[in-house]
Structure 1
């Protein structure tokens, strides 16, 4: 990465001296370099949006602030009227005649943590795997293009799953961001046959299909990899399973168990031994949600056991980053048959989050603090809320101060809109999303820098999963809990 060239071309672009800038990265860039490149890309997109419509002025200033601090640079801005008396910590240097950004934090968040999330103070911690053999094998290399595993834990998890004997259940724990997706991708193409991946949310099904198709190096992957949710045309999926072309299906337990067409075609695939693997992603949810909230999760045991009666070679893989001991005990009671049970535990506390708790006296102070955080903390940013109404209210508050390129993602978000939101999120079309837990589990964006919780999640698993949307690729992420004193004391 040529940092100086990126700074120079970006400066020219936002001064209308050039009209195109190519910011792309290949496979050799580090996670840090990708964040730098994405920061520049987000600035150019924000500037283009601002040029089309002045209502996106403050969104452009947000992206400009991120660029100035991340690259530790000052830049020339010819048309600078919009920066006068700004509230984003951007100032003019009378000597250099350029603009620079400073932190100017007016809320109780550790400035050192903020700098680390901006990658201004990079923690050069060794992963402990420098001397380990992390080279993949020819099958994985040809399938995915990956020549190295992320970590020793990922290597153990992937090979453990691949070597699961027929008829066994393997429980695999791997930290968020540790590369669990590679497990499902490799076992699905280990042998000819179908792998069903049961996921908790529509957003995760859409995202997993997208990511898998990006990674898998096969000519016919569009006819092999599918996701299904309500509103999606099921016929191409059903046809691919009948013809024994489908290799991966991402689907919710409700769609799997309650759709007669899927029940029939999967029953036939299982009878023919074409069904090879059942993967339950985020398997802790079987325990957390299955008892009352989503009872279909706890019907998976009976459904799986019925399939085993016809196809005793069927393998089951349970994946999560958050397996508590009690949860594992319950899952073992559900899915162990005649001692055919394996645990691969690569649990580890994540080192990336930098935690801060901001306590405020009332909701008015909380709203002002959130606006200031959006202005001053690094992006991309996720703001988690308890209810769809809370998401709408925060979005309106941000619009009232001129921050408009913001999206919401809740249980009320339509199916087609969810796919659009995820695609735009990954493509850096916006950098602030306000979401409920509907967005939480498994959605993959590698460079989220700040995760804010405006409420206390229902349990530790939910909290850990949601904060796990940031800090991928071992980059620091700022994790803020913004709570009013009254609610904090009541909890």
Structure 2
């Protein structure tokens, strides 16, 4: 192997990449690779990840294999390397056969310093890799290997065999975002338990963090663009349809904008990307597929039209702006409707609980009333003490009060619960909730039980979220979301550190939503029956009508009309014309029946939780007594649904009812209680008090 002495890394840095100095952590990571050691590098977008394997590739003898997930972006990386005088190629399924053969020939002849390959294509190279000198394996976007990560790719799991096959070849795994669970999983999945992990600071101080309510998004974007018309920027949307509609709107207003999503051909996507990279189209309206690995340093702003599903993805996407270190503006539009939609996306997946916990943390960030940067960095385990001065909260802060006592109570409860409980239980204990879960674990005996009973459940929840965002507490998502104390919490508890909390702003926007039907398999079976019938009519195999993936997508998206049906995977114009009406009939009938077949207690609960109706409004709408509605809530709670009864009855009232129970001759009947309380406590409240 050629040594670093023959290739001083500082010289290589200047000669091939044109830089005088390394960015933080780069030099240490490169030296670790030179020492033939396995490495995990967590570096923010714009932190210079690629250099950590590109530079060693030049100095080490042989070829560095770079495993990268996005075929469309390999070309850019290779073009950039070639422009720097470095022999590099890519190998993937998009290439013509002749081109592939030439790349393989170059590889076999030892003419390449770097070869980029998609994980799916790697097995095709096995026969050559065993006969050549491989200097290094670089697994880019390594979070894709972890089901804990935010962008899991099944093809990445085959990479675990690299260490068995090439035990003496060092491996470096790189990602821009990985929490503790993902980092540990990367090491396990790649069989590199001894790998040294380098975590660069996640702080990008040049990015202005701005979160806004989701009303009138288009108007807000147009107002923003008036002052940023000549700058490059990306707008991220959740759906293809949204990207196209918004791009069209911007065009009618005179802006050069193009949509980018998976529905375009690879040729169309490449054209859009090239136009953006070459500044011909400054504005891209895209689904999240756009931007990973794009090395465009002058993106001046990133807008999230919808809330992302987790902070990892959000951080990675905003990191595509301001990579040149100059100021950049990021805007996140937040609405409760986005939260509902993202919850539906997560439900039914293998990692549903974990994804929902991550989504909740994203929501907490969007609702934060303290410095956004503190909240963002705290999520990655990096705790700063000073406010950043470069976010919407720091620029226009809410009204604060001294929340030290509340913070101490919360931290004390977390400590006394041995850092084993999630947010809900911590709140129940602090509020002195008299429910079975608390009593089963004996938590009513701990010192902080009821320490915050004077604060409403919702307000206390918001204060705990603020403490999470301020880095006083943290969550272990992969361990049932349990709350832990950070070093900052110890200062709050034992060193008298003051904590400021923001006054709670009452929630303005509530969105009525439909709950997804519970029995997803039932709809799938009905769609499969219809598919078989239609296939028999044309005497063709069933998959000719639609593959299972399309049926699963129908079941998941539950389209109600032709426009929505067109969004289903595998539905082109011909199939839309041919099959939409038949399949929509089955889907609509199924959803309508499901709605009407809900048991009465579930319907009341659904109207309260999802339509935000009060018990009296539900009673009026359904022609029931209010007592019946509260009875439905009790039934749902008995069936295991979470329910906060403290909004209807105080702990003092519960105690009074329990005291009355001891004195009454016939405590099984409600009327004596009603008379005992001189008809001042309604029957439903008595019923609740006896239940709780």
Q: TM-score, normalised by structure 2?
A: 0.45
Aligned residues: 332
* Matched ranges for 1:160-179 at <5 A: 160-163=32-35, 165=36, 168-179=37-48
* Matched ranges for 1:7-18 at <5 A: none
Superposed displacement of residue 273, structure 1: 4.3
* Matched ranges for 1:73-92 at <5 A: none
Q: Distance in 1 between matches of 2:237 and 2:113?
A: 36
| 1:155 equivalent in alignment to 2:9 | no
Match of 2:291 in 1: 440
Q: Distance in 2 between matches of 1:374 and 1:185?
A: 37
Superposed displacement of residue 285, structure 1: 2.0
* Matched ranges for 1:10-409 at <5 A: 137-149=10-22, 151-163=23-35, 165=36, 168-214=37-83, 216-218=84-86, 221=87, 224-226=88-90, 228-232=92-96, 233-257=99-123, 263=124, 266-288=125-147, 294-302=153-161, 304-308=162-166, 312-337=167-192, 340-361=194-215, 365-377=216-228, 379-403=231-255, 405-409=256-260
Match of 2:646 in 1: none
Q: 1:452 to 1:459 in 2, by over 3 A?
A: same
- Contact preservation (8 Å) 2:78, 2:89: yes
- Contact preservation (8 Å) 2:307, 2:338: no
Q: 1:324 to 1:360 in 2, by over 3 A?
A: closer
Q: Distance in 1 between matches of 2:339 and 2:208?
A: 20
Q: 1:458 to 1:256 in 2, by over 3 A?
A: farther
**What SS class does the counterpart of residue 469 from structure 1 fall into?**
coil
Q: 1:241 to 1:136 in 2, by over 3 A?
A: closer
Match of 1:73 in 2: none
Q: 1:182 to 1:458 in 2, by over 3 A?
A: same
**What SS class does the counterpart of residue 138 from structure 1 fall into?**
helix
Q: 1:290 to 1:177 in 2, by over 3 A?
A: closer
**What SS class does the counterpart of residue 234 from structure 1 fall into?**
helix
Residues 303-362 of structure 1: CA distance to partner in whole angstroms, max 9, x if unpaired? x13422xxx32121101121211111111222245x54222222332212111112144x
Residues 217-239 of structure 1: CA distance to partner in whole angstroms, max 9, x if unpaired? 35xx3xx4335342454222122
- Contact preservation (8 Å) 1:408, 1:434: yes
Superposed displacement of residue 486, structure 1: 4.1
Q: Which has the higher contact order (CA 8 A, sep 6+)?
A: 1
Give 5+ residue unaligned stretches, structure 1: 1-134, 258-262
Superposed displacement of residue 445, structure 1: 0.9
**What SS class does the counterpart of residue 439 from structure 1 fall into?**
coil
- Contact preservation (8 Å) 2:148, 2:185: no
- Contact preservation (8 Å) 1:353, 1:477: yes
Match of 2:611 in 1: none
**What SS class does the counterpart of residue 449 from structure 1 fall into?**
strand
Q: Distance in 2 between matches of 1:429 and 1:354?
A: 25
Superposed displacement of residue 289, structure 1: 7.7
Q: 1:465 to 1:252 in 2, by over 3 A?
A: same
**What SS class does the counterpart of residue 253 from structure 1 fall into?**
coil
Superposed displacement of residue 290, structure 1: 7.8
**What SS class does the counterpart of residue 319 from structure 1 fall into?**
strand
Q: 1:161 to 1:407 in 2, by over 3 A?
A: farther
Give the helix-richer structure, 1 or 2.
2
- Contact preservation (8 Å) 2:138, 2:174: yes
Q: 1:156 to 1:324 in 2, by over 3 A?
A: same
Residues 403-444 of structure 1: CA distance to partner in whole angstroms, max 9, x if unpaired? 3x2122212232233333333322211211111111132211
Q: 1:231 to 1:487 in 2, by over 3 A?
A: same
Q: Distance in 2 between matches of 1:369 and 1:152?
A: 37
Q: 1:152 to 1:292 in 2, by over 3 A?
A: closer
- Kindly name which structure, 1 or 2, has the bigger radius of gyration based on alpha carbons: 2
**What SS class does the counterpart of residue 205 from structure 2 fall into?**
coil
**What SS class does the counterpart of residue 146 from structure 2 fall into?**
helix
- Contact preservation (8 Å) 2:138, 2:172: yes
Q: Distance in 2 between matches of 1:372 and 1:435?
A: 20
Q: 1:254 to 1:348 in 2, by over 3 A?
A: same
Q: TM-score, normalised by structure 1?
A: 0.62
CA-atom RMSD, angstroms?
2.6
Match of 2:465 in 1: none
Q: 1:480 to 1:330 in 2, by over 3 A?
A: same
Select 2:300's aligned residue among 431, 449, 457.
449
Q: Distance in 1 between matches of 2:48 and 2:213?
A: 35
